[in-house]
Chains A and B, each alone.
Chain A
Amino acid sequence: MRREWDHPVKTFPPLKRKIINVVYHWRGSDELGPKAAAVHLGLLPGSTAIALPGKLNLPFSGGFPRKNLGVLVFMGRAKNGENIYILPRGDKPEIVLTVIRKTAELFKINSERYLFIDCEERMRLAGGGERSDESTLLRKMVAEVKKGLRG
């Protein structure tokens, strides 16, 4: 049933570039998001041939406390121009991502400009069933995201 208070379908002008904001989101309890952003920004080696040192030079290392979950953090601009954000979103991504998309649309910002990457899910897929360590999977995931942005 359509309700009076449902929004009419919005149309947006065509995008000059498809994606300009990449949001790496994860549960927030560890440093997966900041690590993915650092790899995307070229601050950590993207090549899986180079081992990552144990202690990394990362902001938000150790993750986010529960009271700070949901905060969208700008991490930097990548070489190809896309803005990189991280979003520690807790256990239920759907509602948080809906809020962000709908809020953007309220201000006539096409939510397709935001590419949301579920780090846990994408790393699982990047593994393809093979056993790999976390940093290898993470770098594979970021490489696939970058490939997707170019294509």
Chain B
Amino acid sequence: MVAAHLHLGTIPMTGKVKPEKIRSLPEFDLGDRKDWGSPKLVGVDAKGTEVYILGLGNMTEICCQSMISLLYAIGKADQVLLVETLSVIGLLTRIGGFTSKVLGLQYPGKRLAAIGIIHSLRGLRDLVRKAQIYVDWKNRDQ
């Protein structure tokens, strides 16, 4: 979700970001188990690329295989880029998410998660930058 907002420019790609800014994002800590598997449109960037978020729980690899093979089957594989973000998210964010979602302690959970995301911002920005470069290359190619 934060990666999507970095892509869309709601969160800056350089400089410091305060945890309050992360917590104020409309989708922050809203996604839950029933949303898994459903892509959600977050916005459209300046170049017209639609940016989605997709939660897959612990089924990321299997679900990505399914999605990609379906896209190949319907001839749309060139229109979607899946970017896995969980690998750059640190332990603090995971503990925050667990505290909020599983233990039901939203106040400390959200705060921990937001601080964790600030610590992971460098990795997320790097991912987003690479995704944007790839999309630009793809758009030039077509």
Contact = CB atoms under 8 A, between A and B. Distances in A.
Contact of B70 (A6, A69, A100): A100
Nearest to B58: A92
A100 B67 contact: yes
Interface in A91-116: 92, 94-100, 102-104, 106-107, 109
A52 B99 CA distance: 54
Contact of B41 (A7, A67, A92): A7
B37 to A, nearest CB: 3
Contact of A89 (B53, B62, B64, B79): B62
A123 interface: no
Contacts, number: 81
A70 B63 contact: yes
A5 B41 contact: yes
Contacts of A7: 38, 40-41
Given A95-B36, A103-B71, A90 B41 contact: no
B18 to A, nearest CB: 22
B26 A70 contact: no
Nearest to A68: B65
Given A5-B26, A5-B41, A74-B73, A95 B56 contact: yes
A67 B39 CA distance: 23
B26 A96 contact: no
B67 A99 contact: yes
Interface of A: 3-7, 67-74, 85, 87, 89-90, 92, 94-100, 102-104, 106-107, 109
17 contacts: A3-B26, A67-B61, A69-B62, A70-B62, A70-B66, A87-B66, A96-B63, A97-B37, A99-B54, A99-B56, A99-B66, A100-B66, A100-B70, A102-B39, A103-B67, A107-B74, A107-B79
Interface of B: 26-27, 30, 36-42, 53-54, 56-57, 59, 61-67, 69-71, 73-74, 76, 79
